[in-house]
Amino acid sequence: MRDQEPAPAARQDRRLTTRETAELLGVKPETVYAYVSRGQLTSRRGESRRGSTFDAAEVEALARRNRRESKPSSAPDELAVHTRLTLIDGDRYFFRGVDAVELATRHSYEEVAEWLWTGTLRPGARFVAPKESREAARRAVAALPELAGPVDRLRVAAVAAATSDPLRYDLSEDSVLGAARALIPTLATALPLVRGTYADGEPIAQRLWGRLSHKAPDEASLRVLDLALALLTDHDLAASTLAVRVAASARAHAYAAVSAGLGVLEGPLHGAASGLAHRMLLEVLERGSAGSVVSDELRAGRRVPGLGHRLYKGEDPRARALFAALEELPEAQPALAAARDVVATTARHTDLHANVDLALAVFTTTFGMPAEAGETVFAVARTAGWIAHALEEYGERPLRMRPTGHYVGVRPPQPLPAPSPKG
């Protein structure tokens, strides 16, 4: 077959221009440089021409690989996405091949985000939002009704930030990363301030804390929040991440892709799960033991919040890391004891381990945060991962995430429906 034939020596030595490379791959020129930044292509400055040149054999190999990956799988109902971002293997997960828990323990949320986006660690990375973005988001959020939840506010803030960015339709990697570094601090500071004031340029965890708790943070508690953000940056193809990739496949700009993720996140089976665990822990603390609380959950036909994860047989590694950090905080001991009581009570009959929602609930109850605080932390943290997935998807064939519906309704042709009687 042609794809298996080696290229002639003359073609192997030939160099292609950026335009020729883009045409062969069927992508835009800026996507070619996205391939370079991800290590999928190597470029070289032309000796007698302006711009970069690319090895023809390497380009053709990438084109063949892209064609193979875009072919329908043997199971047409199953959607597979090739990603270089996150691997979940056993009871561990990895960001670009690096143990994610170890990375989050040693580096800040911003540094982890940069690693996920670019594969380069930027020590001391800080994200700064332009004044126009911050002010547009705050005005839009302030206009919402009182009953608006935190994710409602974050969605509105993302849309408002988009309208202040005239370059939002530029999907080149540099432009998308610039938008990401502005959007995350915009989201973190768009929520109503409940204590203190924070300067733009401080770590995201510090700016977010003043939107979550009336209590003053110390260095140890801020570190736990930063760790939570870093641990939650990405987690393979969760439902919200898939929504982001679908939006990016249609070439929605980064702000719109993040909005798609926020829309899915609000479900009780995803981002809002930590709020259910938060309320349960408050009940356990009020009653003094987990037995009756767990019994009430089961009697109502509900699963016990904060337990079990479909991707891990053992304990969620994110929960394990957060619990270890919380153990160092004296004020967290009552909530930690309540969480252990829940796990021990359910362990009598089921083999379910704590997940990250329970660990987040320990953190949010410890510092007097509202039940929705865990959802807020989740949303701000995962924005970095959504941007990383959007960047990957911008380098793929447009509109590839278009499954075919299997129609199971009545067969046509059917007569036109008769008008329904009044009354």
Predicted confidence (pLDDT) at residue 156 exceeds the cutoff of 70: yes
Q: What is the DSSP letter of 8?
A: P
pLDDT band at 9 (very low <50, low <70, confident <90, very high): very low
Residues ≥6 apart with Cβ < 8 Å to 96: 84, 85, 115, 116, 119
pLDDT at residue number 77: 43
pTM: 0.81
Least confident of 61-75, 98-112, 339-353, 379-393: 61-75
Residue 231 has pLDDT above 70, yes or no: yes
List of residues 6+ apart from 47 with CB closer than 8 A: none
pLDDT above 60 (res 411): yes
| Mean pLDDT of all residues in 233-239 | 94
Residue 6: pLDDT band (50, 70, 90) is very low
Mean pLDDT of the chain: 89
Cα angle 55, 61, 67; round to 5 = 135
Residues facing residue 98 across a β-bridge: 95
- What is the predicted pLDDT for the residue at 49? 55
6 upstream amide cis, omega within 30 of 0: no
Q: What integer pLDDT is reported at residue 334 of this predicted model?
A: 98
**2 backbone dihedrals φ, ψ, rounded to 5°:** -60, -40
What is residue 204's three-state secondary structure?
Answer: helix
Whether 156 and 142 have beta carbons less than 8 Å apart is answered as no
Kindly report the number of other CB atoms within 10 A of residue 193's CB atom: 12
Give residue 31's pLDDT band: very low, low, confident or very high (50, 70, 90).
confident
Band the pLDDT of 71: cuts 50, 70, 90. low
**Token pair listed for 297:** 């959950």
Query: Who's near 171: CB < 8 A, 6+ residues apart?
Result: 28, 30, 251, 253, 254, 394
- 394 pLDDT band, cuts 50/70/90, is very high
- State yes or no: pLDDT of 13 exceeds 90: no
287-323 pLDDT tens trace: 999 999 999 989 988 889 999 888 898 889 999 999 9
Question: Quick one: average pLDDT of 344-349?
Answer: 90
**Which strands form 98-99's sheet, in the order they lie side by side?**
86-89, 92-95, 98-99
Rounded average pLDDT over 108-114: 98
What is the share, in percent, of the chain residues with pLDDT greater than 70? 90
* Segments of 345-414 assigned E as strands: none
